Amino acid sequence: MSREELPVFRLVDLRKIYGQGEAAVHALRGVDLTVAEGELLVLLGPSGSGKSTLLNVLGGLDRPSSGSCFFRESDLANAADAEVTQYRRRHVGFVFQFYNLIASLTAQENVELVTEVSTEPMPASEALELVGLGKRLHHFPAQLSGGEQQRVAIARAIAKRPTVLLCDEPTGALDVATGVHVLEAIVTANNKLGTTTLLITHNADIARIGDRVVRFADGHIRSIEANERRIPPSELHW
């Protein structure tokens, strides 16, 4: 099989248990999922159903308790710590609910922090242009609005041309109009760069921007539906 035909992620009976004995929490109770190259996947589900846990495992931030989690041909479940770090560095772009920008660096520097150590990054200014922040390069996070900060975070995530973009409730802390801007930035990256994207949301409307929608419940995948058509974020109303 050539690389192109390999799925980006292939999960087999993935389980995650926090704690032990009485207090054990089964966050993932056997997840099987395959994610294809270039796909935009939306994860939906009630609070506590295991969405973030899954995303963290996929991003190499957390380890599954059992099962396998293949990124292309390597199993993240059994990789060494340094390998996982390398994986995050080369292949993963993260976007979080709370932006997680470095307060002591400007927008541009936050992006450069990542591009400095990537192999073929786009210029930081170009990444910021892509998310519509070409004019705010030299502002510190404290000088930007929440939506702008989130877009800096997206620019930071996509500037290194990651293989996958993992977004955990990127619009959770934002109002509608701002949220649309942010989603547009994510969709743009997916379209223009072909970045495989996984996006967690609580908002069923947002699910319509994806290729497929994965519904979570209680640590299981309850259903997977393919959207007939991807709706551009600008047409969303919620």
Partner 1 sequence: MRLATLDRKLLRDLKRLKAQAIAVSAVLACGVALFVMATGMYDSLERARDNYYDSARMADVAVSVVRAPDPVANDLAELPGVNAIEARVTGIGLLDLAGKSDPVSARLVSLPPDRHPRVNDVLLRAGRWPDPTRDNEVLINEAFAEANYLAPGAQLRALIYGRYRELDVVGIASSPEFVFAVAPGGMLPEPERFGVVWMGREALGRAFDVDGAFNEVTFRLGPGADIRDTIFAIDERLARHGGRGAYGRDRMLSAQFLADELTSLRTMASILPPIFLLVAVFLLNVSLSRLVATERSNIGLLKSFGYGNLSIALHYMKFAIVFALLGAAIGVLVGRYLGGYMASIYQKVYRIPELAFDAKINVYLWAVVVSLIAALLGAAQAVLRAARLPPAAALAPPAPVGFSRLGQGIENAARNLDGKSRMVARRIARFPRRSATTVVGVMLALALLITSQHFPISMNHIVDVTFGVAQRMDATLTFAETADDKILAEVGRLPGVFSVEPLRATEVIFTAGSRTRRDTLMGLTEGAYLYRLLDQNMDAVDVRADGITLSQNVANKLGVKIGDTVSVQATDGHRAHAEMTVVAVVKPYLAGAAYMQLGALSRALREPGRVSAAYVLMDSRERDALNREVKELPMIAGVSFLSNASASMRKMLNEGSGFFSYMFVVFSCLMAAGVAYSAARVTFAEQERDLATLRVLGFSRREVSYVLLAEIGALLIVALPAGAILGALLSRWLMAQFQTELFTFPYITESSAYGRSALFVAAAVVGAALAVRRGVDRLDLVGVLKSRE
Residues forming contacts to Mg ion in the complex (CB under 5 A) are 52
Listed ranges 50-58, 81-89, 157-165, 230-238: which one lies at the site for ligand ATP (CB under 6 A) = 50-58
50 binds, among ligand ATP, Mg ion, partner 1, none (CB under 5 to 8 A by kind): ligand ATP
197, amino acid identity: T
Closest approach, Cβ 118 to partner 1, in A, equals: 9
Angle at 167 between CA 104 and CA 233, to 5 degrees: 110
By CB under 6 A, is residue 19 in contact with ligand ATP?
A: yes
Alpha helices in the chain (DSSP H): 51-58, 81-91, 107-115, 124-130, 146-158, 176-193
Maximum C-alpha span of the chain: 54
Residues at the contact surface with partner 1, assessed by CB under 8 A = 52, 56, 59, 61-62, 82, 85-90, 92, 94, 96-98, 100-106, 109-110, 112-114, 116-117, 138, 140-142, 156, 168
Plot region of 80 (φ>0 → left; ψ -120 to 50 → alpha; else → beta) = beta
**Stretch 53-112 residues interacting with ligand ATP (CB under 6 A):** 53
Of 19 and 123, CB closest to Mg ion: 19
Task: Assess contact for 76 and 83: CB atoms under 8 A.
Answer: no
For residue 158, give the DSSP letter: H
Strand, helix or coil for residue 135: coil
Structure tokens at 81: 């710590």
Contact residue for ligand ATP among 47, 103, 119, 229 (CB under 6 A):
47
49 binds, among Mg ion, ligand ATP, partner 1, none (CB under 5 to 8 A by kind): ligand ATP
Q: Which of 9, 11, 42, 52 binds ligand ATP (CB under 6 A)?
A: 52
Three-class SS of 1-54? CCHHHCCCEEEEEEEEEECCHHHCEEEEEEEEEEECCCCEEEEECCCCCCHHHH
Residues forming a β-bridge with 216: 221
Residue 74 near which of partner 1, Mg ion, ligand ATP, none (CB within 5-8 Å, type-dependent): none
- Residues numbered 26-45 forming contacts with ligand ATP, rule: CB under 6 A: 27, 45
Least distance to ligand ATP, CB of residue 66, Å: 16
Residue number with CB closer to ligand ATP (87 or 216): 216
Minimum CB separation from ligand ATP for residue 111, in Å? 27
Quick one: which of 8, 11, 31, 50 contacts ligand ATP (CB under 6 A)? Answer: 50
